[in-house]
Structure 1
Amino acid sequence: MKLFNWFRRTEKVYPEFWKSYLSCFDFKSNASAEKRIVAFDTETTGLDFRTDVILSIGAIGISGNSIVVNDCLNLFLIQDVFKKETVPIHGILKTGQEEKIPESEAVIKFLDFIKDSVLVGHHVSFDVKMINEVLKRMGLGKIKNKSIDTDLMYQKFKRLPEEHHSNLDELCKIFKIEKIDRHTAIGDAYITALIYLQLKKKWRR
């Protein structure tokens, strides 16, 4: 009997926040509901999702054709990894005035904010990978949200070749969008939301 128990697979116990997040994807209850849109961005220590870490997460809700300014999230993470050479880009100091929280707490807050929303980002796959790496360190799976990349939206709208990519600064110039709080997570999330709405409007014409 003891030998049988030793071979029997033990069921993994997941934390409540993760079970709550996964429950948002109950398609039987949510099949007819219109998905909420959330534009988001991460500021990081670099561009290697395997070795770099998140410094801040910014997210903002979109309802219909409008940005919901008070539906937002702006988090700063404790910097266990610090690269002073990247500070001129994002402006986040290790000992800055912002309240900083552990990366696990930040991702828990992020998941609670997004729930089953469709995520919009510029080069969104990188930001998703950064979130997934934190979840991996927490012993959990990947996020399940669908995502939309504003770079790919613009690429398809202009019928550009797949290898052609545009950065946020270029699209701000094209769509005459003021670059408010550029290179902050919440600022870039807001800019991305504006670009998404512009492209969405053009697709309808």
Structure 2
Amino acid sequence: MVLDWLTGKDIPQFWKQYLAHFDKEEQNGPKRYIVFDTETTGLDWKDDVILSIGAISVINDEIKVGDFFEAFLKQDVFNPENAILTGILKEGKEEKIIEAEAIIRFLDFIKDAILVGHNINFDVEMINQALKRLNLGKLKNVMLDVDVMYQKFKNLPEDKHHNLDELCDIFKIKKSDRHTASGDAYIIALLFLKLKRKLKL
């Protein structure tokens, strides 16, 4: 099996295409940021799974509302308490796709963009666990966390964290569609742009 991986025989085409984006020479054009969020069955990345993924792109300090990604996943694991928070029901009206298909589409959407999130290590680890179930490697994208950006802006210690609601209150951002992956991704994108300007990135 290891030899097959090394010779590239068993590597899926979509994974090859994803990795190929990182082999290209750095482009001089505007950077593409992908702000994303996941809704999950819980907060344990080892045992919980993804219910939905929402993502939107930011280019030239502008949220590209037409360049977005959203997927609802079919999962055998289900937590009724989490459904109350996220609004995602096991037999809900949303069109659901299997986890593998969602990951394939997500990789095709993000390509080599810089990933942005709130507590992004958790969301990335959830994606990485899904990739692991497909016998694939981890995401290679550069990551930015709006909580860490705020720490740097205010010169706060690393252990001083702010949840998404607190950051929204600080920057006077409306918290509509909270606890949906797409809604949170849009809110995080607004936060990212404000912090990006303040940090002069």
For residues 186 and 31 of structure 1, the distance between their equivalents in structure 2, rounded to whole angstroms, comes to: 28
Q: Within 5 A, what are the aligned runs for 1:180-195?
A: 180-195=176-191
Sequence identity percentage: 59
* Largest Rg, 1 or 2: 1
Residue of structure 2 in register with 1:83 after alignment: 79
The reply to whether residue 135 of structure 1 matches residue 103 of structure 2 is no
Deviation of 1:31 after TM superposition, in Å, equals 4.5
1:47 aligns with 2:43: yes
Indicate the residue corresponding to 2:151 in structure 1: 155
Asked whether 1:71 is paired with 2:78, we answer no
Alignment match of 2:23 (pick from 22, 26, 41): 26
Report the counterpart of residue 115 of structure 2 in structure 1.
119
SS at match of 1:191: helix
What secondary structure does 1:79 align onto? coil
Are 1:35 and 1:116, in contact at CA under 8 Å, matched by a contact in 2? no
Between the aligned partners of 1:140 and 1:127, the Cα distance in structure 2 is 17
Q: In structure 1, what is the equivalent of residue 14 of structure 2?
A: 17
Structure 2 counterpart SS, 1:132: helix
Alpha-carbon displacement from aligned partner over 1:46-91 (angstroms, at most 9, x marks no partner): 1110100000000000011110001001110002100111112111
Report the residue type matching 1:38 in the other structure: I
Distance 1:162 1:117 in 2: 25
Aligned length: 197
Equivalent pair of 1:43/1:185 in contact (CA under 8 Å): yes
Instruction: Name the SS for the 2:58 alignment partner.
Output: strand
Aligned Cα RMSD in Å?
Answer: 1.5
SS in 2 for 1:154: helix
Q: Name the SS for the 1:81 alignment partner.
A: coil
Deviations for 1:99-149, whole angstroms, at most 9, x for unmatched residues?
000011001000000000000000000000000000000000001000000
Runs of 5+ unmatched residues, structure 1: 1-7
CA contact (8 A) 2:30 2:59 kept: no
1:36 aligns with 2:23: no
Q: Deviations over 1:131-171 (max 9, x none)?
A: 00000000000010000000000011111111111011001
Q: Please, what TM-score do these two structures have when normalized by structure 1?
A: 0.92
Q: In the alignment, is the contact (CA less than 8 A) between 1:39 and 1:189 conserved in 2?
A: yes
